[in-house]
Structure 1
Amino acid sequence: MRWLQLHLRSRRVPLALATVTALIALAWALSLAYTDSVTISARTASLAIMLAAVAVGTTLNGADDALDHTMAVNWPVRRAGHLLLAAAAITALLSLSMITDTRYEPFALILRNTAGLLGLTALGATVLGAALAWIAPLTWTLIAVLPMMGPSRDLKMQVAGWLIQPAGTTAATACAVILAVTGLLAYALRGCPVRPVSETAPDQ
């Protein structure tokens, strides 16, 4: 299991996990303090999940890009496992609220938004690199939570605001699934772009 410890440490997973936990707990605490609803709003939940996905995005590459692309390691499987475990961790942390009076629910919405935003983050990491993986999830989430966005029967609105559509909305679910699957496959098969040596070399 030493390789797993080294893998997690090289990708700053402990720090990211602590950050994710703190962000989810903060959103829960604010909702508990400032609202009377037992259900955390879809907008607040989406923002919390987006920030958690952004924190995970920092773990999608290591310090040595060459090592992350060597053929001696089955990287597609490791990358896919990394992303799936991240999704499971975020979902589990969100689900802990079910034992309290203020909850992230319904579970289907939490699962949909977590999968879609992590897929979007992974896709951003594949195209732009882990350092810029936050751009896509942050941009789409900020658009989705705008005041003029909301549950709608219009297909375009359902896609643009898929994060805040009710659970079971077909277009929103399809959008999340496409993002999740595309991001998972792209990241697992390609990983992050190889950075110039000048960006990865230690300071002298």
Structure 2
Amino acid sequence: MTHHSTARPHAHGLVLYARSRALPGTVLALLAVAALTTVGAQVPEVYLDPAQRIRAEALAPVFAACAIGISTYQHSPALDATAVRPWPPRRLAHLTVLTLIAGLALVLATPSASDFIGTWGLLRNLLGGVGVALAAATVIGARLSWAPTLVYLTMLYLSRGDALGRAHALWAWAAQPGAQPWSWIPAATAFLVGTALFVTRGPLPENGRD
């Protein structure tokens, strides 16, 4: 009896957390991105950059990362501050579950992926994009976190991804093939830094803007 009495409030708290962050809507948004990506993949002549053979579905991890960043918005920061349980574990579970869903959806939606970037490249860009979105959410707020994420990653896509050199692979990581090992360093760094900022600090309170 004691086990059930403690488990139920905990489960109820997780449900309230999911609703307060509109997580069901975010999951639907991620699935919608995957569905649109599947449709877009059937049109082979649509490219972001024909010279580099980067197909339009390469934007899928960018849109997914933007959705995850927006999902961190706190509808009631004052109420969240009264919570008894610590927030870091919930935030970590929040971003982990959504990132896994987005990654799996992208892999299933784009089996051939981009001719240039590849499936591993899309997963790398998802991780890096999520990191940028989470960092942006802690600095400028969750509702605007999509803007720097979209602008930054699109600029990287349009850079010369076919240029050689270790330095170029580091700063233009999102335009590199998935097999380029150096391109994973900035992506992983962005993900770890963004995750650390979000888990420890949470998104910037936006009460003054409501």
Give the TM-score category using the shorter length: 0.7 to 0.9
CA deviation vs aligned residue, 1:24-71 (integer Å, no higher than 9, x gap): 2212212213449xxxx6553431111111111221022111233446
The counterpart of 1:53, out of the listed 65, 72, 75, is 65
Larger Rg: 2
> In the aligned structure 2, how far is the partner of 1:171 from the partner of 1:103?
20
> In the aligned structure 2, how far is the partner of 1:144 from the partner of 1:12?
30
RMSD: 2.3
TM-score normalised to structure 2 length: 0.81
In the alignment, structure 2 segments of 5+ residues that lack a partner are 1-10, 47-52
Contact 2:142 2:203 in 1 (8 A): yes
> In the aligned structure 1, how far is the partner of 2:142 from the partner of 2:191?
17
Is structure 2 residue 16 aligned with structure 1 residue 33?
no
> In the aligned structure 1, how far is the partner of 2:189 from the partner of 2:172?
15
The counterpart of 1:93, out of the listed 105, 113, 116, is 105
TM-score normalised to structure 1 length: 0.83
Is structure 2 residue 27 aligned with structure 1 residue 17?
yes
> In the aligned structure 1, how far is the partner of 2:30 from the partner of 2:95?
14
Contact 2:136 2:142 in 1 (8 A): yes
What is the aligned residue count? 192
Is structure 2 residue 177 aligned with structure 1 residue 166?
yes
What is the identity, as a one-letter code, of the residue corresponding to 2:176? Q
In the alignment, structure 1 segments of 5+ residues that lack a partner are none
Match of 1:118 in 2: 130
Match of 1:44 in 2: 56
Is structure 2 residue 191 aligned with structure 1 residue 180?
yes
> In the aligned structure 1, how far is the partner of 2:54 from the partner of 2:95?
23
Contact 2:89 2:199 in 1 (8 A): yes
Is structure 2 residue 34 aligned with structure 1 residue 6?
no
Is structure 2 residue 78 aligned with structure 1 residue 66?
yes
Is structure 2 residue 161 aligned with structure 1 residue 150?
yes
> In the aligned structure 2, how far is the partner of 1:178 from the partner of 1:69?
29
Large movers: runs of 4+ above 6 Å: none
SS in 1 for 2:100: helix
What is the identity, as a one-letter code, of the residue corresponding to 1:169? Q
The counterpart of 1:79, out of the listed 75, 82, 91, is 91
SS in 2 for 1:32: coil
Against the structure 1 CA distance between its residues 73 and 46, is the aligned structure 2 distance closer, same or farther, given a 3 Å change threshold? farther
SS in 1 for 2:206: coil
Is structure 2 residue 202 aligned with structure 1 residue 194?
no
Against the structure 1 CA distance between its residues 69 and 178, is the aligned structure 2 distance closer, same or farther, given a 3 Å change threshold? farther
> In the aligned structure 1, how far is the partner of 2:177 from the partner of 2:57?
13
Tell me the percent identity: 26
> In the aligned structure 2, how far is the partner of 1:35 from the partner of 1:111?
22
